[in-house]
Amino acid sequence: MLYDVTLPPFNILKISIKKNIIKILTYQIIVSHLITVHTVNLIMSCLNHNTIISTIIVFSFNSNMNNTKISAQ
């Protein structure tokens, strides 16, 4: 009789644990997605605001590449 009484709550507990695991997994997926989207947006905004800086970096990199090519020749 006691065994029968303790059994249903245990099943309910198992079900709740499964639901919680699913909730946690979905939450993690949503959070990771938001983080990636946010970082991409942040990078894009930085590129938009600092186009001059990024072009300077690219230009300096290209000039360095040209210098190495010239020295190699």
DSSP string, 23-56: HHHHHHHHHHHHHHHHHHHHHHHHHHHTHHHHHH
pLDDT score recorded for residue 43: 73
Threshold 0.85, pTM exceeds: no
**pLDDT tens, per residue, the chain with 73 residues:** 454 555 555 566 676 777 777 787 788 777 777 777 777 777 777 666 655 555 555 555 555 555 554 444 4
The contacts of residue 54 (CB under 8 Å, 6+ apart) are 47
| Cα 10 versus chain centre, distance | 36
Q: How many residues does the chain have?
A: 73
